Amino acid sequence: MTLRVYNTLSRSVEDFKTIRDGEVRVYICGLTVYDHMHIGHARTYLAFDSILRYLKYRGYNVKYIQNVTDVDDKIIKRAKERDMDPLKMSADFAVHAQEDQARLGLVKPDHYPKVTENIGGIIAAVKALIDNGHAYVTENGVYFDVSKFPDYGRLSHQDTEQLNQHRIEPNPQKRTPLDFSLWKRVKEGELGFESPWGFGRPGWHIECSVMSRRHLGDQIDIHGGALDLIFPHHENEIAQSEALTGKKPFVRYWLHTGFLNSSGEKMSKSLGNIVAVREFLKTNSAEAFRLFILQTHYRSPVDYSPQQIVNANKAVERLRNFRGELAAAAGKATGKGSEAQKIASGLEEQFIECMDEDFNTPKAVAVVFDAVKGLNALIVGGGESGVSLKKALEVFDRLLGVLGFDFTSSVKLSAQEQALVVERNRCRKEKNWAESDRIRDELLKRGIKLKDKADGSTAVERVIG
């Protein structure tokens, strides 16, 4: 079986072939941290989480970068409204975002590079683009000259002539309306950095090109984000990145997620229909939200409603309860049957077939539930051997792990307790033993005992009294 993915660049499904044998380099556009992460953001990151997990399951060594935009006009505006230092505010929101991603159980990136940590690299890149004729200096900063990049528009499949005609952005400093900012001069006293072109701030697009190149090299396998980033952000990334590297193809596969909608409308701050992740998780489980998201293909829009989360939570509980029943049956089985093992083997083959079809999680989830029905009937009927049921349990745990679920603990935790376990696992990976111990003690006060394993901690017992 061959993994095939939909590439926004070609608008077709292609065989997946990495640039470097056995390694996948992935860059996912991160948050502009001027507010809390909301469930619209989470829709994108959960979708890519299942993709990253599946790539690892398929044996790839995955190197994953997610940036943090911590200096931006929106950040400055929000900080001014709150009478706060913009860099202090964005640093706080960046920490909150990482906490929320941990609560959702997302795979942690290898690096979270920040714009403020890469100003030197950004200035060097802008200088290189000026030197090779792809950028020009004006009174108010530096612009990329789109006319010097003939392939501009190939990702969004738009004609540059039409784009120039319809782009309403009067700016006498620009040579053409499509030219975009690489460096913007600002007044002294505003948030900015010294550069050869005056005190200012980097343009949004150049930041991702520089951070991607620093951590992943000139060419990467997968670049992802939400659908609204295709134009102009990702289009501009291609132009400036390939202008910097001498036309080397910047990205092999472009993947984009559909929006999370509420009553048919995209969730956005302007419409006032967003729900912050941390508020959502006060009354809902991360597992229910994950299943809700995975029941729709990552490229399709998802319509959110509280009832959908209720339904997803019931489905999660069915999976959790089944896992407990399968484990119990495997421990006491005395029969000689091997049908459970056959069902599990068939499940894994079907699961791979589904996920190889452009990471089709809805189909993958469906085949898991179909297998649960068949295995449940065997448990009720009896006659299966312990070996057969244990093999089925191994497959069940492995495939649910690919989707981001861990039902190996028999202890049911609240959303807040689940978040604490996730956070403790993160602290242990970072060797932050003091905080790890503090969280362990906090859970123990709540009557929850943990078992520490090489791959993380799980709750094994809830002590009463």
Give pLDDT tens digits for 107-138: 999 999 999 999 999 999 999 999 999 999 99
> In three state form, how does the secondary structure of the chain look?
CCCEEEECCCCEEEECCCCECCEEEEEECCCECCCCCEHHHHHHHHHHHHHHHHHHHCCCEEEEEECEECCCHHHHHHHHHHCCCHHHHHHHHHHHHHHHHHHCCCCCCCECCEHHHCHHHHHHHHHHHHHCCCEEEECCEEEECHHHCCCCCCCCCCCHHHHHHHCCCCCCCCCCCCCEEEEEECCCCCCCECCCCCCEEECHHHHHHHHHHHHHCCCEEEEEEEHHHHHHHHHHHHHHHHHHHCCCCCEEEEEEECCEEECCEECCCCCCCCCEHHHHCCCCCHHHHHHHHHCCCCCCCEEECHHHHHHHHHHHHHHHHHHHHHHHHHHHCCCCECHHHHHHHHHHHHHHHHHCECCCHHHHHHHHHHHHHHHHHHHHHCCECHHHHHHHHHHHHHHHHHCCCCCCCCCCCCHHHHHHHHHHHHHHHCCCHHHHHHHHHHHHHCCEEEEEECCEEEEEEECCC
- Between 196-200, 296-300, 325-329, the lowest mean confidence (pLDDT) is in 325-329
- Residue ranges of the domains in the chain? 4-266, 316-402, 415-462
Tell me, yes or no, if the two domains 4-266 and 316-402 fold the same way: no
pLDDT at 441: 87
Q: Residue 272 above 80 pLDDT?
A: no
CB 72 within 8 A of CB 184: no
Could you tell me whether strands 200-202 and 180-185 are parallel, antiparallel, or unpaired per DSSP bridges?
antiparallel
Q: Which residue type sits at 115?
A: V
- pLDDT tens for 19-34 read 999 999 999 999 999 9
Could you say which architecture CATH assigns to the domain 316-402? Up-down Bundle (1.20)
Answer whether residue 410 shows pLDDT above 90: no
For 308-327, give one letter per residue: b (16+ CB within 10 A) or e: ebeebbebbeebbebbeebb
Mean pLDDT score, 58-74: 97
- Residue 384 corresponds to which tokens in the numbers above? 């299966």
pTM higher than 0.85: yes
pLDDT at 464: 42
| Residues β-bridged to residue 135 | 144
* CA of residue 171 relative to chain centroid, distance: 36
| pLDDT attached to residue 168 | 55
pLDDT in tens, 337-355: 999 999 999 999 999 999 9
At 344, the amino acid letter reads A
Is residue 444 over pLDDT 70? yes
pLDDT of residue 465: 38
Assess contact for 326 and 379: CB atoms under 8 A. Answer: yes
Q: What are phi and psi of 139, to 5 degrees?
A: -65, -30
Task: List CB contacts of 172: < 8 A, sequence separation 6 or more.
Answer: none
- pLDDT score at 461: 56
Query: pLDDT tens across 175-217, in order?
Result: 988 999 999 999 888 999 999 999 999 999 999 999 999 999 9
Query: How much is the pLDDT for 167?
Result: 58
Pairwise CA distance, residues 276 & 278, whole Å: 6
Class of the domain covering 4-266: alpha beta
Give 67-109 pLDDT, tens digit per residue: 999 999 999 999 999 999 999 999 999 999 999 999 999 999 9
User: How confident is the model over 34-50, as pLDDT tens digits?
Assistant: 999 999 999 999 999 99
> What confidence category does residue 415 fall into, taking pLDDT thresholds of 50, 70 and 90?
low
